[in-house]
Amino acid sequence: MSTTSETALDEVRQFFVSHQVGTSKRILVAFSGGCDSLALAILLSRLFPHEHLHALYVNHRLRTELELGEEERLNAKNCNSVGIPFSIVRLDGGAVDELSLVRGNGIEDAARTLRYQVLEQKRIELGFDHIATAHTFDDQAETMLMRLLQGSGPSALQGIAPEQGVVLRPLLRVTRSMIEEVVSEYGLTASEDSTNADTHFLRNSIRHELVPHVARLFPRYREALDQVAMRNREVVRCLSPAVDAAIVELVTRSEDSVVCDLTAIGTYDRYVLEQVVYHMWSLLPTREGRRLPYRQVDSIVERLVKGGSDGERMVLADTTLEFETERLVWSNGLPALAEGYLSFVYSDQVELDGSHRLILGGAPISSVPVEKRATIDGATLAPPVVVRSYREGDTISLVEGTKKVGSLFSDWHIRRSQRWRIPVVEDTVGVCAVLGGAFGGSDRVATRCLGTALARNGGTLYSVVELEG
């Protein structure tokens, strides 16, 4: 072997020594067929008995059948040349797209999630000890650059972990150029994923467009970024006891929600509270694996630090946070409708918040002048029509343009803790009206629901009245 290949082999050998993984262990190789995973298979075949190795290729069905068929055949041929068993798992067509929609983190994340699931199933099926992936020193640097420029904190800036449960990454100290020389020396040709050059994917864009500039200015950028990752691992290790203590003291989990005790929030600093928020998110049913953007974490922590108003609600993705006097309740699903807010199917009246009633039609006694009540041209509605509480993100199209319903409440100086009481009328097209007149605001009707003057006079009238009225 050449000096470069010997150096790569020594790095891999040292990895297994430092992680106390002997050659009696059995390793499942995550085998894409690219240069990195082919080199990993070659190097492992030099260190482990071949019967203790198995290469698994996961076909995500994201490229043409022709390209994937050729790739499968080449991968089988290369593994046969290396002398290790090889198998293929083909995902169902559309599986990656479906998971991407569920998780909301993109195609690459969904493909990676399914790949690891398949690898773990195969590892258990074979009775193997570990999974080995071919992440390199270059992959580590690219990951660190990406996270740095996304403004990530210490937890994310730990980089790619060398060992994560049963998953081992023996090539994390081996550069891509060393990898290429290993493959070249064996006279093999690696498969080439056609999407690797597509700079619409963030990692590809960093690899092909950003890294060359960084490498020219900072030739030892990989070592520097690896040092940043190492330091952040130490920072996280030092802060972990405080985070663990905060989680134990503040967080409890029920069947369908996660609760944070607000009475002791002031004893913890902001970083610890951020980790508490991330932990709460991970505990929500069906949230596992979905990314919570930092801007939303920051917004939640800001409310924790300042103290959320009793009754205040936040809606993130399809989850709801509700602040109570001494606790924050985080649940799956959108906020429940305010008490008594129903569709007008069996009655033309519904009780709202215990002190108000909503009436459809007629001209009841109301604190809101008749000329300011919500009159809608019934012909413009797209049934069914329901009346519900405000949800963060609601908008209404008015004469002056589309406006956030929350902005209307701010203009009317309605406290956050009281906004749930104001009825929002909605049909299948969107918000038709916001009935704030009886609560210190105004009754506003969507432009599309305003007919001619004659139609307005004979239109659908919504009025909010005091219960004693």
Same domain, 143 and 287: no
Average pLDDT over residues 2-7: 84
The whole-number pLDDT of residue 340 equals 41
Same domain, 187 and 54: yes
Average pLDDT over residues 134-140: 96
**C-alpha–C-alpha distance, residues 228 and 218, integer Å:** 15
The whole-number pLDDT of residue 277 equals 94
Residue pointed to by tokens 């970024």: 225
Residue 70: inside a domain: yes
Provide the CATH number for the domain around residue 316: 3.30.465.60
The whole-number pLDDT of residue 367 equals 66
Query: Pick from 279, 304, 332: which residue ends a domain?
Result: 332
Residue 227: inside a domain: no
Cis peptide before 384 (omega within 30 of 0): yes
**Among the ranges given (28-32, 306-310, 328-332), the one the predictor scored with the smallest mean pLDDT:** 306-310
Query: Pick from 167, 202, 222: which residue ends a domain?
Result: 222
Same domain, 312 and 410: no
Degrees to nearest 5, angle at CA 244 with 280 and 319: 5
Which has the higher per-residue pLDDT, 153 or 26?
Answer: 26
Provide the CATH number for the domain around residue 140: 3.40.50.620
Same domain, 132 and 72: yes
SS3 (DSSP) at 367? coil
**C-alpha–C-alpha distance, residues 153 and 142, integer Å:** 16
**Among the ranges given (262-271, 349-358, 399-408, 443-452), the one the predictor scored with the smallest mean pLDDT:** 349-358
Confidence of residue 455 (pLDDT cuts 50, 70, 90): very low
Residue 249: inside a domain: no
The string of pLDDT tens digits covering residues 92-116 is 988 888 888 777 677 888 899 999 9
Count structural domains, the chain: 3
The count of residues in the chain is 469
Same domain, 289 and 162: no
The whole-number pLDDT of residue 339 equals 44
Average pLDDT over residues 338-349: 55
**C-alpha–C-alpha distance, residues 397 and 449, integer Å:** 10
Q: Are 441 and 412 spatial neighbours (Cβ–Cβ below 8 Å)?
A: yes
The whole-number pLDDT of residue 412 equals 93
**Among the ranges given (10-19, 55-64, 167-176, 195-204), the one the predictor scored with the smallest mean pLDDT:** 195-204
**C-alpha–C-alpha distance, residues 439 and 414, integer Å:** 8
Helix, strand, coil fractions of the chain, as percent rounded to 5: 45, 20, 35
Same domain, 57 and 181: yes
- What the block records as the tokens of 103 is 């998780």
Residue 243: inside a domain: no
**C-alpha–C-alpha distance, residues 239 and 177, integer Å:** 37
Residue 242: inside a domain: no
Alpha helices in 150-220 (DSSP H): 176-185, 202-205, 211-217
Same domain, 7 and 124: yes
Residue pointed to by tokens 């690797």: 196
DSSP one-letter string for 34-103: SHHHHHHHHHHHHHS-GGGEEEEEEE---S-HHHHHHHHHHHHHHHHHHT--EEEEEPPTTHHHHHHHHH
The string of pLDDT tens digits covering residues 215-247 is 999 999 999 999 999 999 999 999 999 999 999
The string of pLDDT tens digits covering residues 253-307 is 987 789 999 988 888 999 999 999 999 998 887 655 677 888 889 989 988 887 7
| pTM for this prediction | 0.69
Inter-CA distances, 214 with 141, 171, 174, Å: 11, 22, 19
pLDDT above 90 covers a percentage of the chain that reads 54
Full domain range(s) for residue 98: 3-222
Same domain, 286 and 422: no
Same domain, 319 and 399: no
**Among the ranges given (123-127, 166-170, 181-185, 265-269), the one the predictor scored with the smallest mean pLDDT:** 265-269
Residue 282: inside a domain: yes
Taking 90 as the threshold, does the pLDDT of residue 37 lie above it?
yes
Taking 90 as the threshold, does the pLDDT of residue 454 lie above it?
no
Q: Are 432 and 426 spatial neighbours (Cβ–Cβ below 8 Å)?
A: yes
Q: Which residues contact 436 (CB under 8 A, 6 or more apart)?
A: 408, 409, 412, 414, 422, 442, 443, 444
Which has the higher per-residue pLDDT, 345 or 29?
Answer: 29
**Among the ranges given (74-83, 300-309, 311-320), the one the predictor scored with the smallest mean pLDDT:** 311-320
Same domain, 264 and 216: no
Same domain, 262 and 212: no
The whole-number pLDDT of residue 459 equals 67
The whole-number pLDDT of residue 469 equals 46
**C-alpha–C-alpha distance, residues 404 and 393, integer Å:** 7
Long-range (24+ apart) CB contacts under 8 A made by 444-450 are: 444/374, 444/396, 444/398, 444/408, 445/374, 445/375, 445/376, 446/396, 446/397, 446/398, 447/397, 447/398, 447/399, 448/380, 448/397, 449/376, 449/377, 449/380, 449/381, 450/376, 450/377, 450/380
Average pLDDT over residues 196-209: 85
The string of pLDDT tens digits covering residues 372-419 is 678 888 788 888 888 888 887 899 999 899 999 999 999 999 887 778
